[in-house]
Amino acid sequence: MYVKNSSIGEKLLIKTEMTEYTIQILESLSLLLYSDNRPHNLRTADLQKGLILVYKGAELVGEGAGFGVPVVRYQDKEYFSGSSTMQILQKDDCTKIVKQFVLNTVSEKRFRKVKMENRLTRKLRKSVEELYQRHRHWRLLVLNNFSESIGVKTSFVRVKPAGNVVVTYCIKPPRINMKADFKLRENGRIQKIFLLNEQSSKYFRRYCDSNGTVLLDKHIGAWENVEAAWACVSNKSGEVGFRLWKVEDAILHRGREFLEGTFDWVGLDYEVSPEKTCFEYDIEILGSRKQK
């Protein structure tokens, strides 16, 4: 049912059993948001997702996080969301979804059954990340495949929450305005905040930007800075996709990895200063015309 909030002219959709919500964008293109951890795909199976693109009835998120998903890096580990609450509001032709992500999940590496998370392994992992940034022709896929071949596995485990991030999705097709409010503990220990905007790399294989750059598949790179005013990821024909813009005081990254049964994500992710308490940006959904 709906309850009218006369002070702001919005109607709050109260439905306690609601675990998913769909917003139609075009005849065959829509956005889907779950309050639980669906879809349970590959390595992100136990993590919360953001808005998911659905085309002709098929979810196009793959292993991606969806649009508008927070990750917070502290000095010792990165916190992901394993649970959430969700509210739906309607105001004229704008749909608002308010999703509170609880940062209560961290990644854990094990060699066979032995936990590998300690100061030494974290330092080693950071060194590998820095090495990869300097030598990007060393594919991250190769490093991860080697780790798995010798028995090193990554899983996500629940821990004491590091705080909450409330993300408000204001959807007015073809635009989505995203606003993230950070309510985090121990702010002095935060190193970086990320807002992920990812879908499936199996479907979205083309990158282009306002500088005229056009890249396909592996040439998109695994983690590259975007220097253009805007960037777009789409299917190979350029007919379905999404566009984001550079935002002041944030770094926009592009990335794509695909390996059947292991990696399946492509995205345009923001890296935000740890001093931020709020971050806002727009996404344009592309579904009716080819992009240059």
Q: Taking Cα atoms as reference points, which of 212, 225, 213, 216 lies closest to residue 270? A: 225
What is the β-pairing status of strands 20-26 and 29-34?
antiparallel
**Joined tokens for residue 44:** 């992100």
Q: At what angle do helices 140-149 and 119-134 cross, to 10 degrees?
A: 140
Q: Which long-range contacts (CB under 8 A, 24 or more apart) does 170-173 make?
A: 170/94, 170/95, 170/96, 171/23, 171/31, 171/94, 171/95, 171/96, 171/97, 172/93, 172/94, 172/95, 173/23, 173/24, 173/25, 173/26, 173/285
Give the alpha-carbon dihedral of 119, 101, 19, 286, to 10 degrees.
-100
Give a yes or no: residue 144 inside a domain. yes
Q: Does residue 104 form part of some domain? A: yes
Which DSSP category does 60 fall into? -
Does residue 23 belong to any structural domain of this protein? yes
Residue 290 domain flag: no
pTM score > 0.75 for this model? yes
pLDDT in tens, the chain (292 residues): 344 444 455 555 544 456 889 999 888 899 999 999 999 988 888 899 999 999 999 999 999 999 999 999 998 788 999 999 999 988 777 899 999 999 999 987 544 444 445 544 555 555 555 555 554 444 444 445 544 544 445 678 899 999 999 999 999 999 999 999 999 988 778 999 999 999 999 999 999 999 999 999 999 988 899 999 999 999 998 889 999 999 998 999 999 988 888 789 999 999 999 988 999 999 999 985 544 4
Is 221 domain-assigned? yes
CB 196 within 8 A of CB 80: no
The tokens of 259 are what? 């390996």
Distance CA 288, CA 29 (A): 10
- How many domains does the chain contain in total? 1
DSSP tag of 212: -
Percent composition of the chain: helix, strand, coil (DSSP 3-state, to 5): 10, 55, 35
Q: Which domain holds residue 229?
A: 2-283
Residue-wise pLDDT tens digits, 37-55:
999 988 888 899 999 999 9
Domain membership of residue 44 (yes or no) is yes
> pLDDT at position 5, please?
47
Instruction: Return phi, psi of residue 26, to 5°.
Output: -135, 180
Q: Is the peptide bond before 39 cis (omega within 30 degrees of 0)?
A: yes
Pairing assessment for the beta strands 250-259 and 58-59 based on DSSP bridges: unpaired
pLDDT tens digits for range 159-175: 999 999 999 999 999 99
Nearest-angstrom CA–CA distance, 218 and 208? 14
- pLDDT score recorded for residue 94: 85
Report H helices in 169-251.
Answer: none
Q: What is the CATH number of the domain that holds 12?
A: 2.70.98
Establish if 149 belongs to a structural domain.
yes
Residue pair 155/148 in contact by the 8 Å Cβ criterion: no
> Residue 137 and residue 89: Cα distance in Å, rounded?
46
On whether residue 291 sits in a domain, the answer given is no
